[in-house]
Amino acid sequence: MSQILVSSRPALKRLFATETQRRCCAPIFTNACTGFGRRNTIYSSIVSRDQFICDRRCNGTLMKAAQTAQVVSTAADAGVAHGVSVAVIGVGLMGNKIARRLASQGANVRAWNRSADKLSTLSEAGITVCNTIADATTADVLLLTLSDAATIRETILNDAVRHLLVGKTVLQMGTIGPKESSSLASEVVSAGGVYVEAPVLGSQPEAEKGTLLIMVGADSDPRVTPEGPVWPLLCALGQQPNIHYIGQVGTAAAVKLALNQLIASLTVGFSTSLGLVQRSGAPVDKFMSILRASALYAPTYDKKLGKMLDRDYGAANFPTKHLLKDVRLFESEAAAAGLDTRLLAALRAVTQATVDRGLDNTDYSAVFDAVVYPDMRSTGGESAKVQQQRQQ
């Protein structure tokens, strides 16, 4: 059906062979396609938006056009990634949601993970569970949501798997350093594959809804070849306005890392200000009211405020241990670029202290604990709220 979708648009244009036919069929074509879905996309690429009275001589053409539009719409309604063969490698917090989203959008999804327990429920979503990484490489696209560059290299560039990359597209969507990404790209290309980096901004809710912000680093913008396998996958996960072609491999990785550095800076900075307000006895609600009305406000402050006030950081969409990894990566890249890294060293120290007290798998808002209670001993992974309840 995906081949019909690709070939039917030119066919539909050919049915409207002359400008006269396109003009006079415009309003009836719109009405005839009602209920077929996606008709505006099809219609706008074929006929003028101006309204004209239809001539009966065009009825035959119109009927054929409407029939073709129905075939096109059937494929489109099956999902924007309909028929694309993809293996999601690494189905942790984000990988699981990405795999499910792609399956819901019509992709033929396979999944592999080092720990099999994370794969157990995926088959219910129509996803093929792979027992080995070799099984996963039978897909046309290998979509990577692995934790770091070292894990990527160990997973797909070892001697047993490297030769299986011939003709495959590696779509790397995790947060890694730009130099790491460029190095991986060289190895994938040497193995006969194609490499595209597409890190995302957003978390599990955005992955579920397909509203991730996606940054792309590749030889060319994937929009140039929308018939290829990468563009439909990106559209399924982020939708066209949210997909940004940055430049060559490495540039998207740099932008993503820069954004994640802001996550650390904003969260630690807000924690410090909130801590002082609390210690001074000033009303937190007054502080927040003034902050919200100012140019200093960022929505993340309200998203994390409740967790910080309760000191209950809960299950993580983005765990503190991953934030620590990204701060370290950014510090290394910044030092190589000749930037002053003293502030980054402080961010790393605060995030490390948070991890050291057992809050590595909690939401990264847990840095509040390290900032406001720097002398607290390790929690052993319990939230402060749980500790308080246990002590009572």
What is the token pair recorded at 155?
Answer: 């997973």
> Are 202 and 296 members of one domain?
no
112: left (phi over 0), alpha (psi -120 to 50) or beta: beta
The domain that holds 202 is classified in CATH as: 3.40.50.720
Helices (H) and strands (E) in the chain, counts: 18, 9
Kindly report the backbone phi and psi dihedral angles of residue 191, in degrees, each rounded to the nearest multiple of 5, phi listed first. Answer: -85, -5
pLDDT at 78: 62
What angle is formed at CA 258 by the lines to CA 255 and CA 259, rounded to 5 degrees? 90
Band of pLDDT at residue 116, cut at 50, 70 and 90: confident
Q: Which helix (H) or strand (E) holds 380?
A: none
Provide the number of structural domains found in the chain: 2
**Read out DSSP for 236-249?**
HHH-GGGEEEEEST
> Are 164 and 186 members of one domain?
yes
> Are 97 and 231 members of one domain?
yes
Q: What is the pTM of this model?
A: 0.76
More confident residue, 136 or 239: 136
> Are 90 and 189 members of one domain?
yes
Residues with Cβ within 8 Å of 272's Cβ and at least 6 positions away in sequence, in order, are: 371
CA distance 290 to 297: 9
More confident residue, 115 or 261: 261
DSSP state of 315: B
> Are 120 and 195 members of one domain?
yes
Helices assigned H by DSSP within 126-250 = 133-136, 149-156, 178-190, 204-209, 230-238
pLDDT at 93: 87
| pLDDT exceeds 60 at position 353 | yes
Other beta carbons less than 10 A from residue 116's beta carbon: 10
More confident residue, 39 or 193: 193
The helix/strand/coil state of 319 is: strand
pLDDT digits (tens, 9 = 90+) for 157-181: 999 999 999 999 999 999 999 999 9
Last residue of a domain, one of 248, 282, 300: 248
> Are 176 and 240 members of one domain?
yes
Strand ranges, E, within the chain: 85-89, 108-112, 128-129, 141-144, 169-172, 194-197, 200-201, 213-217, 243-247
CA distance 324 to 96: 22
Residue 15 forms part of a structural domain:
no
CA-based R_g, the chain, Å: 25
pLDDT at 115: 87
CA distance 171 to 85: 12
| pLDDT exceeds 80 at position 317 | yes
Residue 229 forms part of a structural domain:
yes
What is the rounded average pLDDT of the residues 189-203?
A: 97
Percent share of the chain, pLDDT over 90: 70
Band of pLDDT at residue 48, cut at 50, 70 and 90: very low
DSSP state of 168: -
Which has the minimum average pLDDT: 25-39, 185-199, 356-370? Answer: 25-39
Last residue of a domain, one of 214, 230, 248: 248
pLDDT at 283: 98
pLDDT at 314: 87
DSSP state of 118: G
pLDDT at 391: 41
The domain that holds 298 is classified in CATH as: 1.10.1040.10
CA distance 71 to 80: 15
pLDDT at 392: 39
Band of pLDDT at residue 120, cut at 50, 70 and 90: confident
| pLDDT exceeds 50 at position 25 | no
> Are 212 and 260 members of one domain?
no
| pLDDT exceeds 60 at position 378 | no
Band of pLDDT at residue 61, cut at 50, 70 and 90: low
Other beta carbons less than 10 A from residue 71's beta carbon: 17
Kindly report the backbone phi and psi dihedral angles of residue 197, in degrees, each rounded to the nearest multiple of 5, phi listed first. Answer: -100, 135
Residue 104 forms part of a structural domain:
yes
What is the token pair recorded at 274?
Answer: 């909130």
- Range among 39-48, 78-87, 359-368 with highest mean pLDDT value: 359-368
> Are 299 and 217 members of one domain?
no
Residue 323 forms part of a structural domain:
yes
Last residue of a domain, one of 200, 223, 248: 248
pLDDT at 315: 80
Domain that holds residue 216: 85-248
Residue 308 forms part of a structural domain:
yes
Residue 274 forms part of a structural domain:
yes
Residue 39 forms part of a structural domain:
no
> Are 212 and 323 members of one domain?
no
Residue 80 forms part of a structural domain:
no
> Are 260 and 234 members of one domain?
no
> Are 243 and 306 members of one domain?
no
> Are 175 and 220 members of one domain?
yes
